[in-house]
Amino acid sequence: MSYKTIVALVETPKSAETLIPAACEIAKEFGAHFTCVKPVVEYEIPNPVSSYFTQSILEEFRANATRDQQKIKSTFDKYTASQDFVSEFRVENLTQKQKIRQLMIDTFGADLVLMALPTWRQETSVGVEPIHKLVMGSGRPVLVIPDGYKFDKIPQNILVGWRASPEASSAVHSALGFIKKAQKTTIMTVNKKKHSYSQSITDGREVAAMLDRHGATTKVWHSGRSYKSAGKQIANEAKIGGHDLIVIGVGNHGIGYNLTHSDGAKTVLKNTTVPVLLSA
């Protein structure tokens, strides 16, 4: 897979300094069209104490949004001015209720979507939920980059969190453009027990063989469970192993499942220090 249409959803000036250089690096490598989308949300204040108070708050929100938009556009111009690929900056005016749905529509035509991962999203219980919803609702691969991460080259040491599932297969194929250019890719499985079972030895071999046929350099690693959460173990392995990209599938198991189980992709996002490519 090659990435010819890249969309970056940039909400804050801080995220712009992370996402826009990354998008430019990817667009340059793949000869892609890059669209930077700045969502502008029109806030609604229910049951206002007074019309004057409500209006003053809304005016302050709008003024802040305008300043942020100008800063993001300035960052966009700075990084794209000398590039050969085609780029465009777009402002999307949204209401709070329609925000996620409209952003899904904006990304339907993208080969790759970029989103930022601010620290506050990692530290709150519902912080990564909008990212999860966008991946599930858009059907597009989403590259999530922690705020402040310096994405100055195409990933060279990729870690795939693998299990035999449709979403994991989708994630690997969505990451194929990166995997083909990487120096090495590790297909990592995490067993439920602290030792590897003999029957798990073939798990991941087929997808590794597929990647090898594309010219990728891969290895399969079966890890015994050392953390309560497989997602946390994957994120930790990426950190200590010097990996610069995690690839993982996103499943939709329903509310009942999510109340009693830890979703692997969400746990990875909460613990990662490197970019994560998500696909459903």
- Please write the tens of the pLDDT for every residue from 242-268: 999 999 999 864 443 333 234 689 899
Percent of the chain with pLDDT over 90: 66
**How many residues in total does the chain contain?**
280
Query: Residue 47 gets which letter from DSSP?
Result: S
Q: Of the candidates 102, 130, 136, 106, which has an alpha carbon nearest to the alpha carbon of residue 116?
A: 130
Rg (CA), the chain: 20
Q: How confident is the model at residue 276 (pLDDT cuts 50, 70, 90)?
A: very high
pLDDT given for residue 127 in this prediction? 76
**Exposure pattern of 107-134 as b/e (b: 16+ CB <10 Å)?**
beebbbbbbbbbeebbeeeebbeebbbb
Q: Are strands 142-146 and 276-279 parallel, antiparallel or unpaired?
A: antiparallel
C-alpha closest to that of 72 among 83, 61, 84, 80? 80
| Average pLDDT, integer, range 63-80 | 96
Q: What is the side-by-side strand order in the sheet with 87-95?
A: 87-95, 33-42, 5-9, 112-117, 142-146, 276-279, 245-249, 157-161, 184-190, 218-223
Token pair, residue 129, equals: 């939920």
Domains belonging to the chain, first-starting first, are: 5-146 (3.40.50.620), 157-279 (3.40.50.620)
Residue 61: pLDDT band (50, 70, 90) is confident
How confident is the model over 179-202, as pLDDT tens digits? 999 999 999 998 766 555 544 555
Using an 8 Å Cβ cutoff, are 154 and 181 in contact? yes
Least confident of 12-16, 205-209, 222-226: 222-226
- Summarize pLDDT for 28-47 with one digit per residue, the tens: 999 999 999 999 887 666 66
Q: CA-CA distances (angstroms) from residue 88 to 2, 81, 252?
A: 20, 11, 33
pLDDT number for residue 53: 56
The enclosing H or E element of 57 equals: helix 51-80
